[in-house]
Amino acid sequence: MAESPRRPTPEAQAEQRIKEILRAADSWAKEAPGALMPAIRAVCIRLAEMVADQRHYLAPLPEPQETERRTVLTLIAEKLRSDEVAAGVEEHLKGLEELELRSTGSWATVATAQNEWITTAIRYLEGSVAKLPAGERPDSYWADDVVAGIIASARALIGVDELHARTEARYSGPIRRVAPEEEA
């Protein structure tokens, strides 16, 4: 009988995903002037936290996968709020918080809330760019691209795919749920 490969613990999975999220932040900052690195990292941390908080939005998986997924996503969200992850970008995280960019349940379920936070993250990065000398500033759509990329990266790294989540929520269970646009 072949041995099954041992699955990492939820804690190890969360720790690995945190490292990947921080590497993604570094990657997004690579093309930008060095002065923007802390702002990009803070936006990445906050948006990844919000993506992890989508655990309440996903349709349940069969047990024990659901418990593991929920545990991993909870740990990711908690670790992204930790002092260890925030080291060096506390000022930027505080600035984002002052702009109301912090995770709440509405991020996961309300499209307008998601759009507001995306807009807030873009404005925050644009404000950071405006502090740079004119010759060092990235192009005018840079912040839009970075925020879109961060969200896509965070979803992929965390394992929360929006299309999959919506499909899963709509078709899970014995009865197919009708989308609001199909009700009319």
Q: What is the per-residue pLDDT across 49-74, written as a single tens digit (0 to 9) for each?
A: 887 877 666 767 788 888 888 899 88
Q: Which residues of the chain have pLDDT under 70?
A: 1-5, 55-57, 59, 100-112, 160-184
Q: What is the pLDDT of residue 18?
A: 92
Give the pLDDT score at 32: 87
Q: What is the pLDDT of residue 104?
A: 54
| Nearest CA among 158, 166, 73 for reference residue 111 | 166
Supply the pLDDT for residue 47. 86
Question: pTM for the whole thing?
Answer: 0.76
Please give the pLDDT value at position 120. Answer: 87
pLDDT at 183: 53
pLDDT value at residue 118? 84
Distance in angstroms (rounded) separating the CA atoms of residues 179 and 184: 10
For residue 75, the surrounding DSSP H or E stretch is helix 65-80
pLDDT of 156 reads 82
For 169, residues 6+ apart whose C-beta sits below 8 A from its C-beta are 57, 58, 59, 177
Name every residue whose Cβ is closer than 8 Å to that of residue 38 and which is 6 or more positions away in sequence: 88, 89, 91, 92
Structural contact between residues 42 and 93, judged by C-beta atoms closer than 8 angstroms: yes
